[in-house]
Amino acid sequence: MCTKIEQQSTLKDKIKVFANQVDKRRPKSQLRFLQKVFYKTHQKFLEEYKPYSSIDELVETGVYDCLTATSLYSSILEILGFNFKIVETNYHIFILAYVDGKEVLLETTDGFTGFISNKEEINNRIIKYQNGKPSTLLGRSSKYLEYDFHLLNEVQGYQLPGLIYFNQAVKEFNEHNWLTCRKLLDKSNKVYNSPRVSEIMNFVIMKTTEKSDNQMKQEADIRSLGDEEAVFYEH
């Protein structure tokens, strides 16, 4: 079985080989080339969507979520020299690329209609991502942790590992594995200081500290969490 370092090296090697292959047949139009890269990347690497999936799963089986898929796309776009930025909202992450004087939104979880170049549709998508709640983004009804802020932040590539740690912390949160969740939140915070970390950390600290049942119940009621799920980057 491969170690994490070996898996990361394997993914980097695959990305470099893939980028070199698609670059050999680069069209004159940058927009057409970006579209080609978008769909071929999905066909090559991404097999099945699963919330809170890890980089390991992406390497081994092609299982992905919007965060790991965005991390993959950003690596490929950087190698190929595209101008782009990564944008996060409360419950989602996506890419905005700039080619031939146009802005293009890349919805990395959608290998069929995720290449969006229409300006009005891009604006509508961003509004949906920024203001939508998990139930509308996911297309299902669920209890969830509602944050006290509305993010629309640019994320740097080096910060993505911190978000991946946070996504895994959310998975442990939802399974009530408080100690593991807290460790992952600490790792996340060292790489990328996101306001989401403190939102969830406050509750996790309460769960991992010895307190009276009445006090814990009172604080849980104040936080309005109860048995709710925390939701992070899901499509």
Last residue of a domain, one of 138, 167, 187: 138
Query: Do 132 and 20 have their domain in common?
Result: yes
Query: Do 128 and 192 have their domain in common?
Result: no
209: left (phi over 0), alpha (psi -120 to 50) or beta: beta
Number of structural domains the chain divides into? 2
Task: Please report the pLDDT score of residue 1 as a whole number.
Answer: 47
Query: Do 113 and 164 have their domain in common?
Result: no
Query: Do 82 and 28 have their domain in common?
Result: yes
Last residue of a domain, one of 88, 103, 138: 138
CB 86 within 8 A of CB 70: yes
Does the residue 218 lie in any domain? yes
pLDDT-derived band at 174, boundaries 50, 70, 90 = confident
Task: Please report the pLDDT score of residue 136 as a whole number.
Answer: 45
| Tokens read off for 116 | 């969006």
Does the residue 129 lie in any domain? yes
- 187 pLDDT exceeds 60? yes
Round to whole Å and give the CA distance between 78 and 160.
Answer: 14
Task: Please report the pLDDT score of residue 146 as a whole number.
Answer: 74
SS3 (DSSP) at 19: helix
Largest Cα separation within the chain, whole Å, is 68
Listed in sequence order, the residues at least 6 apart from 22 whose beta carbon sits closer than 8 Å to its beta carbon are 36, 37, 40, 80
Query: Do 45 and 122 have their domain in common?
Result: yes
Write out pLDDT tens, residues 61-117: 999 999 999 999 999 999 999 999 999 998 899 999 999 999 999 999 999 999 999
Last residue of a domain, one of 138, 165, 182: 138
Query: Do 24 and 120 have their domain in common?
Result: yes
Does the residue 70 lie in any domain? yes
Does the residue 57 lie in any domain? yes
Strand blocks (E) in the chain = 48-49, 63-64, 83-89, 93-99, 102-106, 115-116, 152-155
Domain interval for residue 134: 4-138
- 139 pLDDT exceeds 90? no
